[in-house]
């Protein structure tokens, strides 16, 4: 089980980052963004495109050649592109919907349509093949009690640092407070001089950047697939629900725990031979939480029904 | 004391550290029209929510006709005879006024799935009498001309009337009205007030949360004043009005 | 039923899309049409079930495929069939009708099971839970190979239904150069649609239907008026699930085999697209939505092949799905009432 703990932490940190992103967006805009997974995938796919060797056949129809850039640089640019994408989504799609006072349910269905649309665009243009970042294979090393490759260990550390920074930014900075103000009341916020449109835009951008980063992490540890976001989306929901919807801190903790539970469950006796069903464990946990403690670990007991 | 119609003991409710309701003991007698007043945020609607089951108390007990309804679900409390309205009207927008009333007045048995699949002549008779009853109530409240209009087309005042009508068609023993006059134009408010007074005279026990102090003074048998979750005054309207604690509560507290 | 603008438009659009089928398939259009109408019928039935959830009651169910799957698997396992990698044969079984009834009830019970944790929660939570449950269903079916045949699935069950085909039917259909087995399934689907719609129409106009609409409008008010909103929602959930189960059975018999790749989220999204296109809450909306949807979608593959040369099969399928996603988005934003939905019943703000 200990070895799975290492895997669990890795998966956990990824889900954590992605969950915070989702939770942030939900807190401020009240939108459950089902296309979140596609922004995650975007981070990975863009990084793949920028960093793959020139003339390698990764993109549709070989019409576009990858750029062969340095990996870290590609990743940074990809994160920025994801942020820009999120911003565009807000400006072109969600802001008009908000101004037109379209109901929550309709917006939710729109995000589902968006998710289907984007995911299959990826399929068309990035192919359905499983692909990998152009990184060398590494051997596992031992860090305290965990066994993992140096690169994965870096992912873990970077992930933790990002989480801490996000936590600090949210709690102590003016922007963080403004985000929380908009969450609590759009009208009150605008009265006190906070431009809720700008705050929402900022939230979309930062949420998307975090999502893109999570996607890059995921692809670094595993691989790049057109539907990698969709595959992980349910785990992200599970993490957010477990930690408590609407609390970023909860999302962090919940995501980490889900990652650990999922991986560790592989070692449980009844899971033998069914290791791929480990995701099902996360989903079962989520359903149980919703049954007995819908506000999660840290959530407020708001009227959930 | 144990024969009070409605009895509340040691009721406490806090939200994230803030005390919303803290009532040591409160009773309501049958047939009395009690108004519950107090500055904004005093806990009036929360009290209503707690009694009607829409919120869960931290501690305390609530009894209705000696039956403990503390942890009962809202629909069960309603079936016992306590019907409430809401501060922000909750009419069924995409249903007609008539449907709003007929839904409310329809019995559980009539609503059942099996009943609706296998319609008998009894069912048809029931629906007919339900329709008649609905029209009777609409006429009493003067909204019968809107019978076939969608509820969302009604004016604010008419919606309040519809919500009242929906409650009345259930023949409630206790009517809990949450700000029934809010947002209603003065002429309509006058009619509404008279209607409420008549209801009280006809035997319905009424609990009313209201901000309109004139209205409260005019028709209440008893006034309870809440401030910061606790009862600070309780008695006849004219006495409560002169109570210094009440005056201080209204003038002194930060109302928002 | 007055002939209003939207009906005319819908009928024209239906004729147009069906003519597309004839246009793009000069050789043997009748066969394509038969195939199209069978699929359309099955999916329309599924959409009718979803409409009970969303149109009548306002419930967000994104795991509809799993209801179809439960109906299908339970029914198939009860009739003679072969399952699993070795094709283990079960010779004995119930007659089709009995197995079907049990399958439908099983689907409804699955709806109850799902509903219990989820239905007290707010809309978006229900959406998440239904997706999760559908995924758990898929995983269970895949891993419980000894029962469900796992990834190898179940085959050789068709005769349970096909043996009821009358002789004159076979003769007539074969003369049209169509496949009797498939048309039989199609015919039964459409007959089911007919009876299901009668039931739904009756319920819509009944006190129960009225109660459901009230729940859709404002649950708190419903509770304050003494009605058990949770139980009403559960009943609606079960009804829609049962209808979906029936559709799932027909889907299985249309293919002649089932495996885990059949009842997946993409299936759910198709049904959603069809329901929205036809018109949420509209009685016959699913029918037209389904026909138009399938007619157009099946032709887009050819269009896609023209535009994207050298794309492999999977990518061409991607075009189809991308269009589905786009369709859902555009409809929801610009025409949420779809083709036949009532404008007055448009989704307002969720409380």
Question: What CATH code is carried by the domain that includes residue B240?
Answer: 3.40.50.300
The interface pTM score, or ipTM, of the predicted complex is: 0.90
Task: Tell me the nearest-neighbour CA distance from C201 into chain B, angstroms.
Answer: 10
Paired with B177 in beta bridges are B208
Reported pTM: 0.88
Which one of A264-278, B96-110, C175-189 scores highest in mean pLDDT?
Answer: B96-110
Contact status, residue A64 vs residue A236, Cβ threshold 8 Å: no
**Residues B13 and B112 both lie in one domain:** no
Domain boundaries, chain A: 2-133+151-292
**Residues B27 and B136 both lie in one domain:** no
Helix and strand tally (H, E) in chain C?
15, 4
With vertex at residue A297, the alpha carbon angle to CA A292 and CA A301, rounded to the nearest 5 degrees, is 70
Task: Tell me the nearest-neighbour CA distance from A128 into chain C, angstroms.
Answer: 7
**Residues B44 and B164 both lie in one domain:** yes
Q: Judging by DSSP bridges, how do beta strands B33-37 and B205-209 pair with one another?
A: parallel
Q: What is the pLDDT of residues C97-145, one digit of tens each?
A: 999 999 999 999 999 988 887 777 777 788 888 998 899 999 889 888 8
| C214 chain-B contacts, CB cut-off 8 A | 92, 95, 100, 103
| pLDDT band at B117; cut points 50, 70, 90 | confident
Give Cβ neighbours of residue B211 (< 8 Å, ≥ 6 apart). B37, B179, B182
Contact status, residue A210 vs residue A221, Cβ threshold 8 Å: no
Pairwise CB contact (< 8 Å): A287 & C325: no
**Residues B27 and B62 both lie in one domain:** yes
Chain A window 257-286: which residues touch C at a Cβ cutoff of 8 Å? 274, 276-277, 279-280, 283-284, 286
Which one of A2-16, C171-185, C208-222 scores highest in mean pLDDT?
Answer: C208-222
Structure-block tokens of residue C21 = 């089928």
Q: What is the sign, positive or negative, of the torsion defined by CA atoms of C174, C180, C182, C184?
A: positive
Structure-block tokens of residue A273 = 């031979």
- Nearest 5°: phi and psi at A64? -115, 130
Cβ-in-10-Å burial (0-12, 13-18, 19+) of C177 comes to: exposed
| pLDDT band at C226; cut points 50, 70, 90 | very high
Alpha-carbon gap, residue C78 to C278, rounded angstroms: 34
Alpha-carbon gap, residue C271 to B188, rounded angstroms: 49
Lowest mean pLDDT among B27-31, B181-185, C2-6: C2-6
Alpha-carbon gap, residue A170 to A177, rounded angstroms: 7
**Residues B136 and B172 both lie in one domain:** no
Best A114, A120, A130, A286 residue to mutate vs chain C (most C CBs within 10 Å) = A120
Nearest to C347 among A106, A114, A276 (CB): A106
Indicate the number of domains in chain B.
Answer: 2
| A237 chain-C contacts, CB cut-off 8 A | 128, 131-132
Pairwise CB contact (< 8 Å): C214 & B111: no
Alpha-carbon gap, residue C58 to A105, rounded angstroms: 9
Final residue in a domain of this structure, among B111, B133, B153: B153
Chains contacting A (3+ CB pairs below 8 angstroms): C
Q: Which of C160, C161, C139 is nearest to C151 (CA)?
A: C139
For residue A222, CA distances in Å to A127, C85, C183, C241 come to: 17, 30, 46, 37
| B111 chain-C contacts, CB cut-off 8 A | 207-208, 210-211, 227, 232
Residue B166 near chain C (CB below 8 Å)? yes
**Residues B68 and B97 both lie in one domain:** no
Pairwise CB contact (< 8 Å): B74 & C345: no
**Residues B67 and B192 both lie in one domain:** yes
Pairwise CB contact (< 8 Å): C318 & A120: yes
Q: What is the pLDDT of residues A185-225, one digit of tens each?
A: 655 555 565 677 888 899 999 999 999 999 999 999 888 88
B1 within a domain of the structure (yes/no): no
Residue A64 has what pLDDT?
Answer: 66
Q: What is the pLDDT of residues C13-33, one digit of tens each?
A: 999 888 888 887 777 778 888
Q: What is the pLDDT of residues B201-224, one digit of tens each?
A: 999 999 999 988 889 999 999 999
**Residues B228 and B212 both lie in one domain:** yes
Best C226, C240, C345 residue to mutate vs chain B (most B CBs within 10 Å) = C226
Alpha-carbon gap, residue A277 to A290, rounded angstroms: 20
Contact status, residue C244 vs residue C67, Cβ threshold 8 Å: yes
B173 within a domain of the structure (yes/no): yes
> Which three-class secondary structure string do you get for C210-267?
HHHHHHHHCHHHHHHCCCCHHHHHHHHHHHHHHHHHHHHHHHHHHHCEECCCCCCHHH
For residue A160, CA distances in Å to A163, A217, A225, A252, C243 come to: 5, 12, 25, 10, 48
**Residues B186 and B64 both lie in one domain:** yes
Alpha-carbon gap, residue A228 to A221, rounded angstroms: 12
Asked if the model's pLDDT at residue C272 lies above 50, the reply is yes
What is the percent of chain C with per-residue pLDDT over 90, rounded to a whole number? 47
Alpha-carbon gap, residue B19 to B40, rounded angstroms: 14
| B79 chain-C contacts, CB cut-off 8 A | 226
Pairwise CB contact (< 8 Å): C219 & A118: no
Q: What is the pLDDT of residues A58-75, one digit of tens each?
A: 666 456 667 777 888 889
Q: What is the pLDDT of residues A235-259, one digit of tens each?
A: 999 998 888 877 788 888 999 999 9
Pairwise CB contact (< 8 Å): A121 & C322: yes
Question: Residue C56 gets which letter from DSSP?
Answer: I
| C333 chain-A contacts, CB cut-off 8 A | 97, 102, 106, 110
Task: Tell me the nearest-neighbour CA distance from A145 into chain C, angstroms.
Answer: 32
- Residues of the domain holding B244: 6-91+160-252
Q: What is the pLDDT of residues C56-74, one digit of tens each?
A: 888 899 999 999 999 999 9
Residue with tokens 């009508």: B165
Structure-block tokens of residue C117 = 């944790």
Asked if the model's pLDDT at residue A115 lies above 90, the reply is yes
**Residues B73 and B130 both lie in one domain:** no
First to last CA, chain B: 36
- Nearest 5°: phi and psi at A131? -125, 165
């Amino acid at each position: 089980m200990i070895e799975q703990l290492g895997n669990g932490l890795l998966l956990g940190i990824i889900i954590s980052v992605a969950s915070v992103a989702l939770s942030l967006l939900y807190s401020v805009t009240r939108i459950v963004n089902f296309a979140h997974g596609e922004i995650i995938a975007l981070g990975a796919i863009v990084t793949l495109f920028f960093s793959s060797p020139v003339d390698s056949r990764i993109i549709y129809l070989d019409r576009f050649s990858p750029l062969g850039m340095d990996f870290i640089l590609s990743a940074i640019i990809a994160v920025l592109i994801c942020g820009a994408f999120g911003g565009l989504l807000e400006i072109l799609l969600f802001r008009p919907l908000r101004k037109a006072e379209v109901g929550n349910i309709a917006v939710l269905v729109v995000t589902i349509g968006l998710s289907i649309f984007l995911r299959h665009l990826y399929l068309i243009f990035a192919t359905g093949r499983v692909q990998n970042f152009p990184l060398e294979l590494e051997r596992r090393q031992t860090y305290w009690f965990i066994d993992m490759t140096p690169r994965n260990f870096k992912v873990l550390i970077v992930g933790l640092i990002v989480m801490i920074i996000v936590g600090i930014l949210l709690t102590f900075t003016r922007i963080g407070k403004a985000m929380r103000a908009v969450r609590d009341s759009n009208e009150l916020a605008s009265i006190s001089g906070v431009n809720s449109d700008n705050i929402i835009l900022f939230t979309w951008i930062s949420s998307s950047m975090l999502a893109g980063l999570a996607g890059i992490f995921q692809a670094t540890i595993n691989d790049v697939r057109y539907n990698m976001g969709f595959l992980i989306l349910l785990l992200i929901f599970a993490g957010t629900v477990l930690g408590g919807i609407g609390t970023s801190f909860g999302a962090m903790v919940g995501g980490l725990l889900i990652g650990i539970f999922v991986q560790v469950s592989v070692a449980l006796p009844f899971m033998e031979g069914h290791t791929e069903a480990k995701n099902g464990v996360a989903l079962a946990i989520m359903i149980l939480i919703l049954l007995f403690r819908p506000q999660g670990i840290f959530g407020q007991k708001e009227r959930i029904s | 004391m144990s024969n009070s119609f409605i009895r509340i003991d040691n009721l406490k409710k806090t939200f994230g550290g803030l005390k919303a309701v803290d009532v040591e003991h409160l009773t309501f007698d049958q047939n009395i029209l009690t108004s519950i007043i107090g500055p904004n945020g005093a806990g009036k609607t929360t009290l209503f929510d707690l009694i009607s089951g829409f919120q869960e108390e931290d501690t305390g007990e609530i009894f209705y006709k000696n039956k403990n309804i503390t942890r009962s679900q809202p629909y069960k409390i309603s079936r016992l005879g306590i019907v409430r309205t809401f501060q922000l009207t909750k009419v069924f927008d995409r249903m007609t006024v008539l449907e709003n009333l007929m839904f409310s007045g329809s019995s559980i048995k009539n609503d059942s799935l099996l009943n609706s699949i296998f319609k008998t002549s009894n069912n048809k008779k029931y629906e007919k009498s339900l329709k008649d009853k609905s029209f009777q109530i609409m006429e009493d409240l003067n909204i019968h001309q809107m019978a076939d209009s969608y509820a969302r087309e009604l004016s604010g005042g008419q919606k309040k009337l519809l919500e009242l009508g929906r409650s009345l068609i259930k023949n409630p023993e206790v009517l809990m009205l949450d700000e029934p006059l809010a947002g209603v134009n003065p002429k309509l408010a006058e009619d509404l007030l008279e209607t409420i007074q008549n209801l009280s005279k006809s035997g319905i026990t009424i609990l009313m949360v209201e901000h309109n102090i004139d209205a409260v003074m005019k028709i209440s048998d008893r006034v309870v004043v809440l401030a910061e979750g606790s009862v600070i005054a309780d008695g006849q309207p004219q006495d409560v009005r002169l109570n210094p604690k009440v005056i201080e509560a209204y003038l002194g507290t930060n109302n928002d | 039923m007055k002939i209003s603008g939207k009906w005319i438009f819908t009928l024209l659009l239906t004729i147009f899309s069906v003519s597309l089928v004839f246009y793009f398939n000069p050789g043997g259009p009748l066969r394509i049409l038969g195939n199209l109408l069978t699929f359309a019928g099955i999916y329309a039935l599924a959409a009718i079930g979803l409409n009970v959830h969303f149109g009548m009651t306002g419930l967000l169910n994104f795991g509809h495929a799993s209801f179809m799957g439960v109906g299908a698997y339970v029914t198939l396992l009860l009739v003679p069939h072969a399952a699993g990698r070795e094709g283990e044969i079960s010779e004995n079984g119930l007659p089709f009708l009995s197995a079907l009834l049990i399958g439908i009830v099983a689907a409804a019970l699955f709806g109850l099971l799902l509903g219990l944790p989820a239905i007290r929660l707010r809309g978006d939570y229900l959406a998440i839970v239904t997706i999760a449950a559908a995924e758990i269903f898929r995983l269970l079916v895949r891993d419980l190979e000894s029962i469900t045949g796992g990834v190898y699935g179940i085959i050789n069950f068709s005769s349970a239904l096909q043996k009821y085909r009358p002789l004159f039917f076979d003769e007539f259909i074969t003369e049209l150069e169509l496949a009797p087995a498939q048309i039989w399934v199609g015919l039964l689907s459409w007959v089911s649609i007919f009876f299901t719609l009668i039931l739904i129409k009756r319920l819509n106009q009944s006190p129960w239907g009225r109660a459901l609409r009230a729940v859709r409008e404002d649950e708190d008010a419903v509770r304050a008026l003494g009605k058990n909103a949770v139980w009403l929602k559960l009943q609606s959930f079960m009804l829609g699930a049962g209808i979906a189960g029936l559709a799932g059975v027909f889907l299985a018999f249309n293919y002649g085999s089932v495996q885990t790749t059949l009842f997946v989220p993409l299936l759910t999204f198709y049904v959603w697209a069809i329901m929205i296109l036809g018109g949420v809450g509209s009685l016959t909306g699913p029918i037209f939505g389904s026909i138009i949807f399938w007619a157009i979608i099946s032709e887009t593959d050819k269009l896609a092949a023209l535009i994207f040369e050298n794309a492999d099969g999977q990518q061409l399928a991607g075009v189809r799905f991308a269009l589905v996603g786009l369709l859902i988005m555009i409809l929801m934003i610009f025409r949420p009432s779809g083709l036949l939905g009532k404008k007055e019943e448009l989704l307002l703000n969720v409380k």
